[in-house]
Amino acid sequence: MNDVVNVGGKLALICAVAAIALGLVNAVTAPAIDKVKEQQLSAALDAVRGTAEAGEERLVEGEPIVDGYYALVQDGTSAGYILRLTGTGYAGDMEILAAYRQDGEIKAVALMNNSETPGLGKEAEKPAYMEKYIGTGAGHPVPMNKQQLTQEEADAISGASITFMGIAQALKAGSDYVKEQLGK
Amino acid sequence: MSYVGIIITFVFVENFILTKFLGLCPFIGVSKNTESAVGMGFAVTFVTSVASLATWAIQKLILQPLGLAFLQTITFILVIAALVQLLEMVIQKISPSLYKALGIYLPLITTNCAVLGIALIAVRSNYNALESFVAGFSAGLGFLLAILLMSTIRERMNTEWVPKPLRGVPIAFITGGLMALAFMAFDKALLRNLIG
Amino acid sequence: MLFMKILWAFLSVGLLGAIFGIGLYVASRFFAVKKDERIQQVVEALPGLNCGACGFAGCESYAEAIVTAEDVALDLCKPGGADTAMKLGSIMGKEVEFSAEKLVAQVHCRGGKETAEYKFDYEGIEDCNAAMLLYGGAKKCPFGCLGLGSCIKVCPVDAIDYDEDGLVWVDRDLCISCGKCVDICPTGVMKMIPYGADVIVACNSTDKGGVVRKYCKVGCIGCAKCTRSSPDGGFVIENFLAHIDYSKKGERSAALADCPTKCIIRTVKEVKIEESAHPLEAVAAQDSHDAD
Amino acid sequence: MGNFTKGILKENPIFIIMLGLCPTLAVSTQVVNAIGMGVGVIFVLLGSNIFVSLLKNFIPEKVRIPSYIVIIASFVTMVDLFMQGYAPSLSKNLGVFVQLIVVNCIILGRAEAFAKKSNVKDAVLDALGMGVGFTLGLLLISLIREVLGSGTITLFAIGNFDGVIRLPGLSESPVRVMALAPGALLVIGYLKALFNWTEARRSKEATA
Amino acid sequence: MKRLSTFPKGGVHPPGRKHLAHSLPLQNASIPSLSIVPLSQHIGSPAECVVSVGDVVREGMLIGKPTGFVSVGIHSPVPGTVKELRRIHLPNGVQTDAVCIELAGEFDRLGKSQETVEWENMSAKELLDLFAQMGIVGMGGATFPTHVKFSPPKGSRVEFFVINGVECEPYLCADHRLMLEKIREIFEGLRVIRKILDPEQVLFAIEANKPDAIEAVMSYCRQNVLDVKVMPLHVKYPQGDEKQVLKALTGREVPSGGLPIDIGAVVSNVGTVNAIYEAVCLKKPLIERALTVSGGAVKNPANLKARIGTPVSQLLEECGGFSEMPEKIVMGGPMMGFTVLDLDTPVTKGTSGILALTGAEIRSANQTACISCGSCISVCPLGLNPRLLYKLVDHLDYGGAVEAGLMDCKECGCCGFVCPAHIPLVQGMRLGKRIHLKNRKKA
Amino acid sequence: MIELERQRITTSPQIHKPISTAAVMWAVSACLLPAAVWGVYSFGLRALVVMLVSIAAAVLTEFGLGLVSKRFTILDGSAFLTGLLVGFNVPPAIPLYIPVIASVFAIAVVKWTFGGLGSNWMNPALAGRVFVAFSWTGPMTSWTIPRNLVDAVSSATPLSAVKSGLFTYSGDAGGPMQFLSEIGYPHSAFDGKVTDFLRSVFEPLGATIEPGYGDLFFGNIPGCIGEVSAFLLLIGTVYLFARKIITWHVPVSYLVSFGGLVWIFGGSRFGSGAFSGDVVFHLFTGGLILGAFYMATDMVTSPLTRKGLLIFGVGCGFFTFLIRFFGSFPEGVSLAIIIMNIFVPLINKYTGPKRFGVTKKGEE
Ligand SMILES: Cc1cc2nc3c(=O)[nH]c(=O)nc-3n(C[C@H](O)[C@H](O)[C@H](O)COP(=O)(O)O)c2cc1C
Ligand SMILES: Cc1cc2nc3c(=O)[nH]c(=O)nc-3n(C[C@H](O)[C@H](O)[C@H](O)COP(=O)(O)O)c2cc1C
Ligand SMILES: Cc1cc2nc3c(=O)[nH]c(=O)nc-3n(C[C@H](O)[C@H](O)[C@H](O)COP(=O)(O)O)c2cc1C
Ligand SMILES: Cc1cc2nc3c(=O)[nH]c(=O)nc-3n(C[C@H](O)[C@H](O)[C@H](O)CO)c2cc1C
Ligand code: SF4
Ligand code: SF4
Ligand code: SF4
Ligand code: SF4
Ligand code: FES
């Protein structure tokens, strides 16, 4: 019996001490971690919201691509939406934030979390990459395949057209969502 | 994701050895001959299956309700270590022949990245209990596949005159590298196209 | 809030720890299986070369035999030598005597492309035993080294290689005395000598001197000059071939110098000395070199 | 001192003992990851070696492994939490491999092979040596992989410098596979062969 | 036409080149002035020399007496004096003492008419003893003492006795000639064998490339109303091997490591049967044999009856020497035979041919590493993996090779013949077997 | 007296089949020649330069490594063949450093690391190709318009045009050839004649023939230098079969299993249900013919026995189908073959020959 207590108790003791220590460390780091998360989100929103203000996030249920949206307000009037989208890239899902005008035209896009290949799909993280989508969605269709791009643009995505098509598909779905669900 | 999807993911697309780099120490260490490689593969499969189920329970029943996510690492590894040790003792007692086949590998598995790795990945992917189990099982299968193929190739290398400095571990790594090159065919996009 | 969290952490992990601790303890009592710890100790004490010189399948099986069987000698590991035998003795609690000097292998032949005669050009597997299948090898001398390197292949520690003359030579410092090369050598030209041996008679031919002269320039012709030049060197002629009894510790450099076919050579490769007028001087220089 | 230096070359955990391979290969895509991982491992090694050697008489034999693992896991969690809070991008790059330091074979290996038999001072030296050896090995591998596979050398961002040194030419069209899974295995395979070769030459020369 | 049977798996079709000699009748080769008679010409323990230098010997006199059961006597092929005892290396690797006999004196048999001996009232045991006395061994190549082979273990039953007239080796025609010219003797020998073994069925196997021999044997059987089944076989090397010929004839497989008797069969070469006739009916020991001298480099190929101990050089000379320089002198057939180093090498009881081959016939090329083409596997009649066996032997894993079937290898040479990498596979097999036997003896 | 100049002393057999490694390798190289000439004709001298550079890189690497290990092996032709096949497997406009790296990788890493000729377990040329294809995806998928399609604007290969085009396509083309016609994929003048001929033969039988098969079969399409002309590649195999250098097992099982899968499942992409895939299109596009007859048949990296070869071929067919139809790369042949290379030792282990006189029972 003594032995049981010796063995079990000692392991329990080590565990418990460890747990307390971790609890304390957690208490120190938890606020920092939360702050990091907030900062990341607001930085991302800043990147696409332009001069407008973003409201609270609303979650969207039952949509495969659109996960949530923020209403944009400029000078007191509604200036469109920022959508949180999930696209499928070469190496799994990609998180996309895109700002739309109320008529569904794309104003700004940013690629967030993704695991695309550096040098290929990851190039889409660069703001310049998204230029081909900007201004499409309402008057012009979102470019969906290479044939709809200029030769220069097509060369730039050579070897990474899956990423390109994945983003395009997500943006188009977002645009449609704005037009059909939010625009009214 | 469907169960088939999980299986394909962990056997091919995210093969623990060839794309995720989890469990390399036993992969290199125990792949010299087919027999022990297969033994190791089955042992790992067994442990990953049980461990991912057990850690799922810990996560859902203790850590999440109590808001103790930061204790994930410590509780998971504790469970795994205890599980493996228990398993070793039980097998040794109940089936000496199985112990003879698996026993020597079991202690190695405690510190096998694959086991903790699948537990953490299953939690991060928000799998339910059965999905966690299937994920653990298929991660083990992926390991088994990789180590079996590796061992047959290494057995073949035993009868070739591989340059001296490259013999043994280096050639195992390079073989693994070439296998990984071929396994790059199995990417996420393939998985998505295949199962929608 | 913070306090509650830490309390929960304390309680849950502590409890897990307690459960596993007790569980493992109980389990270990239930499922305990006895094992002899000494096997592992013996394995660790052995060099782990798995060379098989002990006569067992490998270090591990020797260890198991030592611990489980009563009458297995503790001094069978040749690579380990005296040190290992002592260690095993202390693990097993037995007295071990191990006195023999370390033996190393060496090729007793210097007949090569320039010095020896050949019957034909050998074509086939690079393996001395394979060459033996065809008229006992391509060399006219049936006792010499065939030079196809079976011993090189078999040596577990790469102690054997071709030297600068293209002849097979054992590096005595790398040799672990496992005897595998002696086993595999088809002509018996690879023999064990004491590590400290200063010279060897580098010939294995028991043919009469006249016959030897016909097929090899550096063969032993059994002229017995060595026995006269270095009477305390332990030289013995047997079947027209000189042997050295290494238990005699007398000087042997005179024999080395006098051997008419120069088949007595040093076991440590000589530093190449510039062409000197008298071969004897070269030898003397070498001797003084050895001394310091 | 020998306890420190042995880990760097003679018993380098990566190239000689061949342990802790998973993180070595997984995070060696960028130099900065290697440094981060290395620091994390050194911290955990230090902590676990100290505590194991301190508690060597306290811990019962039957629960030796679980106890060591709990100690190790605690330090790992600390590293993890601090990284998440104060080095978020590094934390993201390293992914699960921070948590997987727990099972990094080096750490339990050192606890078992060294710390449990040694005093605190030796344990610290051993931990530092092994940790530094691990980090150097990791650095070497990641340097090769990043230069070949991305044409860059990624360090820390300071001020205006974004932390990335780009090699002209190579960074435009790198040998991308070297940054991917096969590259990791090939690089460590050839490095190990190089080690074997130099080792063999050294021992040949030593006896000659 | 009915499809001729053959063994199903493996085998090769080397260029036959039998036309060089198959229509040439057997001739007596000239008697050598110096006969070199090795004491070990058979499998088993060598004979013990019973003469010494200077002794005068008569034709057919015993000069080496059998030592043990698996051994046979050696006889002087010529009358003469013993000049010396010499240590010689036979091409097949055997080192043995040989008795050198200088021709002198008078022949007891040569040129004299032979009377036939009554043997019907001899018992099987007496006949077998006679075989050993007369030095009868298998003439199909293995030179295994026939009296041993004909003493099947108790309880086994001889269902088939097979006369092996396959002669599948290229170039060789000696058996072919025997079947044409000595048919009566062969069937007389068969009567002796029937008395010893009492087989249920006698099969006569001949490959289809010897239609005249098939015809001759068939018509002889028909005329004499003999209960012998003549079986023409589809041509494929190595059909003459007893395992393959039995598979082709009966469909049964001699088990690995087993003997023909395990499936109720005994196989003998036609030459052996002829030798049995001569030994039993003419009381003539085995002192000469039929062989073929052929090859692209031989001026006048021939089928000869040569005395044991005749040097190779003399036979080549008798055939007119070389029309061009040969690359190899081969003793035996080209698939299993051995190259000759010394032209003094004598004919032995197992010598079925002497070939002088040109480079164009040999077709050698540089050896490279194995390219895993699998040809060797598909031609090995014994279902072995020669490539694997060779590699294991090359890596000194003799145990592994034996486990993979090394000891089954008949050294038929099919694998070496087809290997595009020109790897000396057969040498590897022989090396492996030799080392394995050495290791086993030691253990 | 008989005199001899020099006797050769060897073990049996004393004669040999007239075949050697070098003869095999050079014969395969020679059989590839027509396709190489076509590549140069179709894509210009640049294609010749690419092939010469890859061959030179491969042979020099072989020579260098041969020096290190004291073996002189370049005359056995295997390095030449590997280099040639690397050149065959890259686009004509490739920057030259890429085929050089592919060849060096093939010879140094895939072949000599394991001990040189015969010791490698993965197809060197294909591994080299895949290595560079994954590293320089862009240049490895940038095609040159062939000579006979001068007026074409797009330079996509038929396979990649179909694959990327289908991504957003919602019509009902009925099959890949119709789809290509719909998006205006160009045809050569020669193809018109072939189509007319085919129509005259098959239309009376009730079949409709799309234009373009002639270009596919004879090689008027963009693609890798050596892979485009299925016709000339097949011509070369006649000799290989006649000399028994390759056997039917791998190509047939490969093509049949792949064709079968295409036939069964290939139509669903076009909404035409099972058993309607366009087998002909898939057989003659991409590197399938080159792969099935010249690369999957590499003896070193394929199984040893007939049974093994059949399994290997079926595996190649399966993976080619999987990657072509579901993977992210338009082409699947090279990856499929090197994936199956991994399985070869396993296949060999379980498809050894049946030993004579050994029964299952006796074996234990
Ligand atoms: C190592 C590797 C990484 C890849 N990464 C990406 C990627 O990040 N994004 C992508 O769209 N495709 C990626 N691909 C997929 C291929 O490049 C794919 O064939 C290509 O996108 C289609 O060809 P195209 O863009 O020339 O039409 C990758 C392929 C490989 C081999
Ligand atoms: C050691 C040994 C023992 C043999 N014992 C017998 C035997 O008992 N009965 C028998 O019929 N043949 C026996 N043989 C003969 C073989 O069956 C076979 O005829 C001989 O090896 C020659 O066959 P080959 O010319 O096909 O190689 C024996 C052969 C050897 C080598
Ligand atoms: C590869 C091979 C080929 C053989 N070819 C023949 C042959 O053509 N004719 C023959 O009589 N024996 C041949 N033999 C020998 C037979 O196996 C068998 O030993 C012989 O027929 C037995 O008769 P014997 O003991 O009278 O020689 C061959 C053996 C081997 C291994
Ligand atoms: C029929 C045949 C096909 C071959 N195919 C290839 C090939 O696809 N790739 C290659 O590198 N070598 C090939 N070779 C050459 C050679 O076998 C190859 O370089 C070896 O794999 C090198 O060990 C081939 C050889 C033959 C005989
Ligand atoms: S010593 Fe013996 S084994 Fe070594 S090369 Fe000489 S003959 Fe061969
Ligand atoms: S030289 Fe001979 S005895 Fe010495 S280690 Fe090598 S094989 Fe063993
Ligand atoms: S020599 Fe041996 S291995 Fe080769 S084919 Fe003949 S029986 Fe088979
Ligand atoms: S025939 Fe020669 S090259 Fe072909 S597999 Fe056999 S050993 Fe290798
Ligand atoms: S570090 Fe050893 S298994 Fe991952």
Residue whose token pair is 């006795």 = E161
Range of the domain at C135: 103-266
One domain for residues C42 and C111 = no
Who's near C284: CB < 8 A, 6+ residues apart? none
Residue F148 is which amino acid? Answer: N
The predicted structure's pLDDT at residue C264? 93
| pLDDT above 90 for C80 | no
> Residue D24 in contact with residue D138, Cβ under 8 Å?
yes
> Residue F240 in contact with residue F208, Cβ under 8 Å?
no
| pLDDT above 80 for E396 | yes
> Residue E5 in contact with residue E234, Cβ under 8 Å?
yes
Q: What's the average model confidence in pLDDT over B73-83?
A: 86
Backbone angles phi, psi at B152, to 5 degrees: -70, -35
Of F78, F117, F293, F344, which is best to mutate to test ligand 4, by the most ligand atoms within 8 angstroms of its C-beta? F78
Residue whose token pair is 């092929």 = E77
| pLDDT above 50 for C285 | no
| E341: nearest CB among C120, C124, C153 | C120
Q: Count interface pairs B-C at CB distance under 8 A.
A: 41
Q: For every one of its 364 residues, what pLDDT tens digit does chain F have, with 9 covering 90 and above?
A: 677 777 899 999 999 999 999 999 999 999 999 999 999 999 999 999 999 999 999 999 999 999 998 888 999 999 999 999 999 999 999 999 999 999 999 999 999 999 999 999 999 999 999 999 999 988 998 899 999 887 777 678 888 888 877 777 777 778 889 888 888 888 898 999 999 999 999 888 888 888 899 999 999 999 999 999 999 999 999 999 999 999 999 999 999 999 999 999 988 878 778 888 899 999 999 999 999 999 999 999 999 999 999 999 999 999 999 999 998 887 899 999 999 999 999 999 999 999 999 876 544 3
CA-CA distance, E273 to E185, in Å (whole number)? 8
Residue window 224-263, chain C: list those with CB within 8 Å of chain F.
Answer: none
pTM of the complete model: 0.92
CA-CA distance, E389 to E406, in Å (whole number)? 6
| B162: nearest CB among F118, F119, F332 | F119
Does the residue F147 lie in any domain?
A: no
CATH number of the domain where residue C148 is located:
3.30.70.20
E377 CA: nearest ligand 8 atom: 6
Who's near C276: CB < 8 A, 6+ residues apart? C282, C285
Give the end of a domain, one of F84, F107, F140: F140
Instruction: Tell me which chains share at least 3 CB pairs under 8 Å with chain F.
Output: A, B, C, D, E
| pLDDT above 50 for C50 | yes
Which of E287, E282, E322 lies closest to E301, judged by CA? Answer: E322
Q: What are the tens digits of pLDDT across the range D100-128? A: 888 777 888 888 778 888 888 999 999 99
Residue whose token pair is 């490095």 = D191
Q: What are the tens digits of pLDDT across the range C194-203? A: 988 899 999 9
Residue whose token pair is 């399985």 = F343
Q: What are the tens digits of pLDDT across the range E83-120? A: 999 999 999 988 999 999 999 988 887 777 777 888 98
**Which chain B residue's Cα is nearest to E388?**
B159
Residue D71 is which amino acid? Answer: I
Does the residue C42 lie in any domain?
A: yes
User: pLDDT grade, residue C33 (50/70/90)?
Assistant: low
Report, at the CATH architecture level, how domain E113-281 is classified. 3-Layer(aba) Sandwich (3.40)
User: pLDDT grade, residue B103 (50/70/90)?
Assistant: low
Q: Which residues of C touch D208 (CB under 8 A)?
A: 171
Which of A4, D71, D69 lies closest to B84, judged by CA? Answer: D69
The predicted structure's pLDDT at residue D207? 65
Which of E382, E340, E313 lies closest to E29, judged by CA? Answer: E313
One domain for residues F267 and F315 = yes
Does the residue F240 lie in any domain?
A: no
Binary contact (C123, F7; C-beta < 8 A): no
Q: Which residues of F touch D186 (CB under 8 A)?
A: 109
One domain for residues C157 and C110 = yes
Least confident of A20-34, B125-139, E404-418: A20-34
Residue D135 is which amino acid? Answer: T
Q: What are the DSSP calls for chain B, one per residue?
A: --HHHHHHIIIIIT-IIIII--SHHHHHHT-SSHHHHHHHHHHHHHHHHHHHHHHHHHIIIIIHHHT-GGGHHHHHHHHHHHHHHHHHHHHHHH-HHHHHHHGGGHHHHHT-HHHHHHHHHHHHTT--HHHHHHHHHHHHHHHHHHHHHHHHHHHHHTTS---GGGTTHHHHHHHHHHHHHHHTTS-HHHHHHHH-
More confident residue, B77 or E348: E348
One domain for residues C233 and C113 = yes
One domain for residues F124 and F169 = no
One domain for residues F131 and F198 = no
Does the residue C17 lie in any domain?
A: no
Residue C37 is which amino acid? Answer: E
The predicted structure's pLDDT at residue B21? 87
Quote the minimal CA–CA distance from B4 to chain D in Å: 24
Annotated domain spans of chain A: 47-182
One domain for residues F68 and F127 = yes
Give the end of a domain, one of F88, F112, F140: F140
Who's near B131: CB < 8 A, 6+ residues apart? B1, B3, B6, B122, B125
Q: What are the tens digits of pLDDT across the range C116-168? A: 999 999 999 999 999 999 999 999 999 999 999 999 999 988 899 998 888 99
Interface-testing mutation among C22, C26, C30, with chain A (most A C-beta atoms within 10 A) = C22
| Residues facing C264 on adjacent strands | C201
The predicted structure's pLDDT at residue B39? 84
One domain for residues F134 and F207 = no
Averaged pLDDT score across all residues of chain D: 87
Annotated domain spans of chain E: 113-281, 375-442
One domain for residues F206 and F279 = yes
Q: Which residues of F touch D177 (CB under 8 A)?
A: 131, 134-135
In SS3 terms, chain F reads as CCCCCCCCECCCCCCCCCCCHHHHHHHHHHHHHHHHHHHHHHHCHHHHHHHHHHHHHHHHHHHHHHHHCCCCCHHHCHHHHHHHHHHHCCCCCCCCHHHHHHHHHHHHHHHHHHCCCCCCCCCHHHHHHHHHHHHCHHHHCCCCCCHHHCCCCCCCCHHHHHHHHHCCCCCCCCCHHHHHHHCCCCCCHHHHHHHHHHHHHHHHHCCCCCCCHHHHHHCCCCCCCCCCCHHHHHHHHHHHHHCCCCCCHHHHHHHHHHHHHHHHHCCHHHCCCCCCCCHHHHHHCCCHHHHHHHHCCCCCCCCCCHHHHHHHHHHHHHHHHHHHHHCCCCCCHHHHHHHHHHHHHHHHHHCCCCCCCCCHHHHC
The predicted structure's pLDDT at residue F160? 86
Residue A20 is which amino acid? Answer: I
The predicted structure's pLDDT at residue D134? 92
| pLDDT above 50 for D40 | yes
Q: What are the tens digits of pLDDT across the range E158-170? A: 999 999 999 999 9
User: DSSP 3-state assignment of A132?
Assistant: helix
| pLDDT above 70 for B1 | no
Of C77, C108, C177, which is best to mutate to test ligand 6, by the most ligand atoms within 8 angstroms of its C-beta? C177
Binary contact (A20, C9; C-beta < 8 A): yes
Q: Calculate ∠ Cα E14-E16-E21, nearest 5°.
A: 155
Structure-token pair, residue B165 = 């400095």
Tell me how long chain F is.
364
User: pLDDT grade, residue C278 (50/70/90)?
Assistant: very low
Range of the domain at F317: 158-221+245-351
Q: What's the average model confidence in pLDDT over B131-150?
A: 96
Domain total in chain C? 2
Ligand 3 contact via E164 beta carbon (within 6 Å): yes
H-type alpha helices, D120-180? 120-150
**To 10 degrees, what angle do helices E124-134 and E183-197 make?**
130
Does the residue F263 lie in any domain?
A: yes
Backbone angles phi, psi at E387, to 5 degrees: -60, -45
Q: What are the tens digits of pLDDT across the range C95-118? A: 777 666 788 999 999 999 889 999
One domain for residues C175 and C111 = yes
Q: What are the tens digits of pLDDT across the range E62-87? A: 999 999 899 999 999 999 999 999 99
Q: What's the average model confidence in pLDDT over E320-328?
A: 93
ipTM of the shown complex: 0.91
Percent of all residues in chain C with a pLDDT value above 70, rounded to a whole number = 89
Ligand 8 contact via E414 beta carbon (within 6 Å): no
One domain for residues F309 and F274 = yes
Averaged pLDDT score across all residues of chain A: 87
| pLDDT above 50 for C291 | no
State the CB neighbour count (10 A cutoff) for residue B49: 21
Chains D and E touch (3+ CB pairs under 8 A): no
The predicted structure's pLDDT at residue B85? 81
Indicate the burial class of A91 (C-beta count within 10 angstroms; 0-12, 13-18, 19 or more). Answer: buried
One domain for residues C84 and C175 = no
CA-CA distance, D57 to D179, in Å (whole number)? 46
What is the sign of the dihedral through the CA atoms of E383, E385, E386 and E390?
negative
One domain for residues C192 and C142 = yes
Backbone angles phi, psi at E63, to 5 degrees: -115, -20
CA-CA distance, F252 to B9, in Å (whole number)? 31
One domain for residues C116 and C248 = yes
Who's near C141: CB < 8 A, 6+ residues apart? C111, C116, C117, C205, C207, C212, C215, C216, C219
